[in-house]
Structure 1
C-alpha cells in the first residue's frame, strides 16, 4: 500500500509533466552550444578551445568519480519516504559529507597532476602553459562544488521538483555556453573563462540548495555520517559507479578500434552520423531521469511500478519510432545538406544501421532504469560487464571484415542483446506489459523503411508518403494503445493551446 508521499510523487500526470519539463530544459543549452561554440573557437582559437573542451569533459566525468553517491541519495531518500521518515537530514548529511570529501580528494589530485599534464602531455606553446596550469588548478578547487551540486539535484529529483530543476538547467546550461562566448569578446584568457565556469556551477549549486532547504526538515550538511546509511549508499553506489565506467567505454571503444584498424578518415565518416543519432537519446534520457526516483518510491507496490514501467515504454516507442523512421528514410538528403556528397557515399548505410540500434537502445533504457530503481544496480552492472567481454571481439572482427559498416552492425547487435536481456530481467520482477512484440515489429518496420529509401523516388513523393504513413501510425496508436484518460488529457491540453 502506497503512503501519501508515494502516491503524490508517483502520480502519472506529475510524471508526464516532469518528463516534458526535463526534455525542454535540454533544448536551450543544445541551441546555445550550436550558436556559441563557433564564436568561442573564433575568439579564443582552436588550441585554447581544445583545452576548454577537455575541462568541460572533466567536469562531465565528475559523475563517474563520485562512486555513484549522487544516484545513491535518490535511492536512500526514496527508502526514507517509503518508511514515512520525516527528518531525512541523516541521509543527506551522510552522502553530502562523502561527496565533499571525494570532491576534495579528486580536486587535489587534479591540482597535483596538472603540471605534468600541461608540460608533458599537452602539446602547448610556452606562452600558454602558465595560463592552462592555473585553469586546471581552479578546476581542481571547484571540484567539490560540482560534486555537491549533483547531490542537491538528487534531493530535488526525489521530490519530483523537475520544474525547478528544468529552469535552473536551462539557464545554467545556456550560460555555460552563451556566458563564455560573451566573455570571450572581452577576454580570451583561459583563467577568466574557467573562473566564470566555476562561478556558474556555484550559482547553480546555491540555487539548488535554496530549493532543497524548503523540502528537507533539518540540515542538509550535518557533517555527521550514519554508518548504516553510508554502507547502504556505498553498496548501491559502487555498482552505479561500475556502470558509469563501463557504459562510456562501450560507447566509445568502436571509434578507437576503427582508428587502430582502419584510418582517421574512417573515424570521421563513422563519428559524424553517430553524433547525430545521439540526439534521439534526449527523449529516453528525459523520461528516465524522472523515472528513477519514481521507481524507487514505488518499489514496494508492484501494481504502481508495473503501470509506470509499461506507460514509459509505450511513451518511448510512440515518440522515438517516427523520428527514427524519418531519419532512416531521409538519411541521404540529411547527410548531403549537412556534410556533403562524400558523407552520403560513405556514411548513409552506417547512419541507418545506427538509427535502428538507437531505437532499440532508447527502449532498453526503461528496464535499465527500472532495475536500478528497485535497488539492484549490481544486476545491470554485471550484465554490462558481460556484454563488454563479448562485444569487443565481435566489434574487432566486424570492423576488420566490413569496416565502419561492421562497427555499426556490432553496435546494433549489442544494443539488441542489451534490450532483450534487460527486458527479460525486468519481466521477472514486474507484471507490466513490455511491448516486446511491438518493439520487434517496429524494428522490422525500420528495416523496411531502409529498403524503401533505396528506391529512386523524388523528394516530393518521399514527403507525401511520409505524411501519409505518419497519419496511419498515429491513428493506430490513438485507437489501439492510448487509454481514455490519456486521450482526455491530450485533448484538454490541445484545446488550451488552440484557445491561446
Structure 2
C-alpha cells in the first residue's frame, strides 16, 4: 500500500470537482435562472445534511473491513452486507423524513415566485429518492478504501460529481429548466456512481461469498458509526457559529466580509484530508508503534508540504481580494482572512490525531473533544467580537483551531511531542500574518518581509521533511529540469 500514491489520488479527486463547479455555476444561472438555481442549491444542501442518515456507517465499514485484512473473505463480506442492509433501512427512513421536511420548508417558509411552487412540490419526491442513494455511497466507498482501492473510489467520485453537475445542465438544454427533471437527472448521476461502486465491491469483497446479514455486527457498526455521526453533527457547529454570531450582532455586511476569506481558507483542508484518508485503512491493524510512526510522519509531511504555500497565501490574500471583490470589501476581508488562513493551517494538523483516534476504535474521544470546546468557544467568541469586532472573531477562531489540535493529540498520545516543531514553523507564519496586514502591498517592506519569511519557512520545511518526501521532490525536479 502506497500512502503517498493514495493521498495523490484523494487530492486529485477533491480538486477536480471544485474546478468543474467554478465553470458550471455561471452556466446554471443562465440556463435555469436565479430562482430555480436557489431551489436547487437548497435541495442539494438538504440532501447533504440528510446524508447523516448514513449514521457513520461509511467510516465504520472502512474500520471494520480494514481490521479484517487477514481474516477469511467471508468475514469481510458479512460486514459489507450487514452495513449495506442497515444503511438501506436508514436511508429509506431519511428519505421519508426529508420528504416531509422539504415539502413543509418549500411550501411554508421558502420565499419564491408563487408560480414556481407547483413545480417545486412535484420535485420533492425525487429529492427524497436521492437520500438512500447518497447514504449508500459512503458504505460502498468505505468498503473499497478498506481494501486499498483508492484509485477506483476517486475515479468514481470524480465521475459522480461531474455527472451530478453536468447531467442537469444537459436536461435543461434538451427539455427546459423543469425542477423535477433536474432533480431526476441528479439522482440518475448518483445512481450511475452507485452501480460502478457496487460492481467494484463485488469484485474485491463479495465475489464468491454468501450474502449474509450478521446481527452481531450491527451493534459494533452502529456503536462506532454513532460517534462518527455525533461528530458530524457537532463538528460543523464549531465552524459556522462565528457567522451566526456576526450576523446577529454586527450585521449582514460584516458576515460578507468574514465569509469571503473564510470560504477561500476552507480549501486548505483538502490536502490534510487527502493524506489521512489514505493512511486510515492502515491504522486498525497497526501496532501502537506503527501508529505513532505514521502519525509523526504525517505531521512532518503536512508541515513541510503546506506551510510555505500557506505563507504565500497569507501575503497574496490582500492584493487578490482587492482585485476580486474590490478594495471596499477586500481590505477588511483580507485583514480578517490572514488570521482565518493561519487558523486553518493549525487545524490541518488536527486531522492526524482525529484519524488516529478513529483508527484505533475510539471515535468517542473525538466527539468528546469537540463537545468540550463549544462552551468556552462561545464565551471567547462573544468577548472577542465585543472588544475587537471581526478581527477578534478571526483571532478566536485561529486560537480554537490550535486548541483543537492540542486536545486531540493529547487524547490520542497523552503527550504533545509535535507541538514545539509546529510552534517553530508557526513563528514566521504569525509574523507574516501581522506584517502583511500592517503594511500595504505597494510598500517595498511588504515584499521584502515576504521574501525573508519565505526563505526562513522554506529552510525549516526542508529540515523537517521526511527523507521519503525529499526523495520524491528531487525526482520530480529532475523530471522537469534535467
CA distance in 1, matches of 2:443, 2:178: 48
Structure 1 residue 468: deviation in Å? 6.3
Normalising to structure 2: TM-score of the pair? 0.93
**Residue deviations 1:197-241 (CA, integer Å, cap 9, x gap):** 10110011111111111111457893x532221111111111111
The answer on 1:438 being equivalent to 2:427 is no
Q: Secondary structure at the match of 1:88?
A: helix
**Which residue number in structure 1 is paired with residue 360 of structure 2?**
374
The answer on 1:240 being equivalent to 2:228 is yes
Structure 2, unaligned runs of 5 or more: none
Aligned mate of 2:439, from 445, 455, 462: 455
TM-aligned CA distance change 1:490 to 1:84, over 3 Å: farther
Counterpart contact for 1:63–1:70, Cα < 8 Å: no
Q: Secondary structure at the match of 1:225?
A: coil
Q: Secondary structure at the match of 2:350?
A: helix
**Which residue number in structure 2 is paired with residue 343 of structure 1?**
329
TM-aligned CA distance change 1:100 to 1:55, over 3 Å: same
The answer on 1:119 being equivalent to 2:103 is no
Structure 1 residue 436: deviation in Å? 1.4
**Residue deviations 1:46-103 (CA, integer Å, cap 9, x gap):** 1111110111112222332222111111111122225565541210111111110000
Structure 1 residue 412: deviation in Å? 1.4
TM-aligned CA distance change 1:93 to 1:439, over 3 Å: same
Q: Secondary structure at the match of 2:366?
A: helix
Between 286-295 and 207-216, the greater mean CA deviation after superposition: 286-295
**Which residue number in structure 1 is paired with residue 181 of structure 2?**
192
Structure 1 residue 406: deviation in Å? 2.0
The answer on 1:48 being equivalent to 2:36 is yes
The answer on 1:264 being equivalent to 2:249 is no
**Residue deviations 1:117-168 (CA, integer Å, cap 9, x gap):** 2221112333211211222211112221111111100011111211112222
Q: Secondary structure at the match of 1:81?
A: coil
The answer on 1:324 being equivalent to 2:310 is yes
The answer on 1:428 being equivalent to 2:414 is yes
Q: Secondary structure at the match of 2:69?
A: helix
Structure 1 residue 461: deviation in Å? 7.3
Alignment of 1:171-320 (within 5 A): 171-186=159-174, 187-218=176-207, 222=211, 224-298=212-286, 301-320=287-306
CA distance in 2, matches of 1:163, 1:404: 42
CA distance in 1, matches of 2:50, 2:70: 30
TM-aligned CA distance change 1:464 to 1:261, over 3 Å: closer
Q: Secondary structure at the match of 2:62?
A: helix
Structure 1, unaligned runs of 5 or more: 1-10
Normalising to structure 1: TM-score of the pair? 0.90
Counterpart contact for 2:295–2:356, Cα < 8 Å: yes
CA distance in 2, matches of 1:63, 1:372: 20
The answer on 1:39 being equivalent to 2:27 is yes
TM-aligned CA distance change 1:265 to 1:84, over 3 Å: same
CA distance in 2, matches of 1:141, 1:293: 31
TM-aligned CA distance change 1:450 to 1:149, over 3 Å: closer
TM-aligned CA distance change 1:406 to 1:466, over 3 Å: closer
Q: Secondary structure at the match of 1:375?
A: coil
Structure 1 residue 15: deviation in Å? 0.7
CA distance in 2, matches of 1:120, 1:402: 39
CA distance in 2, matches of 1:461, 1:233: 57
Counterpart contact for 1:213–1:220, Cα < 8 Å: no
CA distance in 2, matches of 1:213, 1:176: 24
Aligned mate of 1:63, from 43, 48, 51: 51
Structure 1 residue 485: deviation in Å? 4.2
Aligned mate of 2:372, from 386, 389, 395: 386
**Which residue number in structure 2 is paired with residue 169 of structure 1?**
157
The answer on 1:28 being equivalent to 2:16 is yes
CA distance in 2, matches of 1:219, 1:398: 60
Counterpart contact for 1:353–1:412, Cα < 8 Å: yes
Structure 1 residue 181: deviation in Å? 3.2
Counterpart contact for 2:140–2:201, Cα < 8 Å: yes
Between 252-261 and 79-88, the greater mean CA deviation after superposition: 79-88
Counterpart contact for 2:439–2:446, Cα < 8 Å: no
> How many equivalent residue pairs?
480
Between 312-321 and 455-464, the greater mean CA deviation after superposition: 455-464
TM-aligned CA distance change 1:263 to 1:476, over 3 Å: closer
CA distance in 2, matches of 1:181, 1:468: 48
CA distance in 2, matches of 1:221, 1:262: 60
Counterpart contact for 2:54–2:91, Cα < 8 Å: yes
Between 487-496 and 100-109, the greater mean CA deviation after superposition: 487-496
Aligned mate of 2:344, from 358, 372, 375: 358
Counterpart contact for 2:343–2:397, Cα < 8 Å: yes
TM-aligned CA distance change 1:456 to 1:61, over 3 Å: closer
Structure 1 residue 473: deviation in Å? 3.7
CA distance in 2, matches of 1:380, 1:112: 32
**Which residue number in structure 1 is paired with residue 137 of structure 2?**
149
